Amino acid sequence: MSQNPLRDRLYHILEPHRKGDYVSQVFDIFLILLILANTAAVMASTVSEIHQQWHPQLYAFEVFSVVVFSLEYIGRVWSATSAPQTLPFRKGPYQKPWQQRLRYVFTPMALVDLAAILPFFLSMFVLLDLRILRLLRLTRLIKLGRYSRSVNLLFTVIKKELRVLAAAVSVLIIVMVLAATGMYYIEQHAQPEAFGSIPAALWWAINTLTTVGYGDVTPVTALGKVFSGAITILGVGIFALPAGILASRLSEQLRLRRDTFRKHVMEVMEDGSLTPHELSRLNQLRETLGLDDDQANLLIDLAQDYKQQNQQDDQHFRYCPHCGKSLPQPEDSHSHQG
């Protein structure tokens, strides 16, 4: 992609490691541990005894972390031009390096990286509230997202199924408002403090319908208990829904991705063979689609069997073209006819 091997190497070190790239792997582990240690440090520094006793050490650690994260950020921006064009069909016109870098700077992960270091530098020039500074340091936790494919999968699903989740939450909130209103009318006089207004009653409704049930506010009148019981049973029933909808939608997604992979395998194997380069491309696709090793291998095996058979004798279906299973050999019948 580029003519700068140093920058290319840096790019690969900073990105999540590939199998066999041990330098990149060590760097990944180091960064993950540093992020976790930062989180622990922020949490520990709010315990006053720890804060008083270890203040200098914690500050030194913070400076060290900011230096590392700053270098990482600079490295990422500089090596952004070495990124492969993962989406070739989207490439558009040629971009100058500074355009590529500027575009990278505004990607979500780059903004998170910036948010992880900026407050420290800002606090040198501007007087910032120490507590808000600390809070911003926790954004470093989000940097972890880069390293876990499963966490990414979760976020992908959340993004894709946001509507269903939002709908479920909307219905929940509507039910909560109605429950709070009902309870306000019922318990208003018995417990003027806990149910004196609908917003106050909402506290009870939220903690009941999510089944948290702190128990700091509970109905005391008979009617209130009947109403509360009915609402709780209803709420639990409603809550089986979003989970079920999500599960069925995710099954669909998985099927869609498997079909896409199978289509690519068949295309790649049009010529009956599978070069190492094609295999590595398929593997990349497999990872992008989040498919299992087992499934991918099965699909490739079936396609390979099918192609080999059909090359020997390209007249008949030896393998079902749809599922790749072997068929009894009808060519015998044809030879009878011939």
Give residues 119-138 in contact with a copy of itself (rule: CB under 8 A): 131, 135, 138
Which window, 56-64, 71-79, 94-102, 320-328, contacts a copy of itself (CB under 8 A)?
320-328
- What are the beta bridge partners of residue 319? 326
Q: Taking the chain, what is the end-to-end CA distance rounded to the nearest angstrom?
A: 58
Q: How far is the CB of 56 from a copy of itself (least distance, A)?
A: 19
Of 4 and 218, nearer to a copy of itself (C-beta) is 218
41 near a copy of itself (CB under 8 A): no
Q: Does 202 bind a copy of itself (CB under 8 A)?
A: yes
Near a copy of itself in 245-274, by CB under 8 A: 245-254, 256, 258-259, 262-263, 266
Among 244, 275, 279, 280, binds a copy of itself (CB under 8 A): 244
Q: Is 31 in the site for a copy of itself (CB under 8 A)?
A: no
CA-to-CA dists, residue 67 to 35, 64, 73, angstroms: 13, 5, 10
Helix then strand then coil, % of the chain, to nearest 5: 75, 0, 25
Is residue 154 a contact residue for a copy of itself (CB under 8 A)? yes
Quick one: which of 99, 280, 284, 333 contacts a copy of itself (CB under 8 A)?
A: 333
What is the C-alpha to C-alpha distance for residues 278 and 269, in angstroms, rounded to an integer? 9
Tell whether residue 185 is a contact of a copy of itself (CB under 8 A): yes
- Contacts with a copy of itself in 272-311 (CB under 8 A)? 292, 294-295, 298, 310
The residues in 87-126 that bind a copy of itself, with binding defined as CB under 8 A, are none
Shortest Cβ 95–a copy of itself spacing (Å): 28
φ, ψ dihedrals at 134, nearest 5°? -60, -45
Rounded distance between C-alpha atoms, residue 24 and residue 28, angstroms: 6
Nearer to a copy of itself, 96 or 131 (CB): 131
Structure tokens given for 69: 């994260």
For the bound state, the minimum distance from the C-beta of residue 315 to a copy of itself, rounded and expressed in Å, comes to: 3
Amino acid letter for position 286: R
Q: Can you tell me whether residue 93 is helix, strand or coil?
A: coil
Contacts (CB under 8 A) with a copy of itself, residues 215-234: 215-216, 218, 225, 228-229, 232-234
Taking the CB of residue 76, how many other CB atoms lie within 10 A of it?
Answer: 21
Least separation in angstroms between residue 293's CB and a copy of itself is: 11
The closest of 37, 108, 43, 98 to 68, measured between CA atoms, is 37
Question: Would you say the C-alpha torsion 117, 119, 122, 127 has a positive or negative sign?
Answer: negative
Residue in 22, 237, 276, 277 binding a copy of itself, rule: CB under 8 A: 237
Residue placing its CB nearer to a copy of itself in the complex, 110 or 198: 198
DSSP string, 18-43: PTT-HHHHHHHHHHHHHHHHHHHHHH
CA–CA dist 277, 304 (Å, integer): 16
Number of residues that bind a copy of itself (CB under 8 A): 117
Q: Which of 181, 217, 187, 213 is nearest to 199 (CA)?
A: 181
Q: Which of positions 43-62 make contact with a copy of itself (CB under 8 A)?
A: 43-44, 46-48
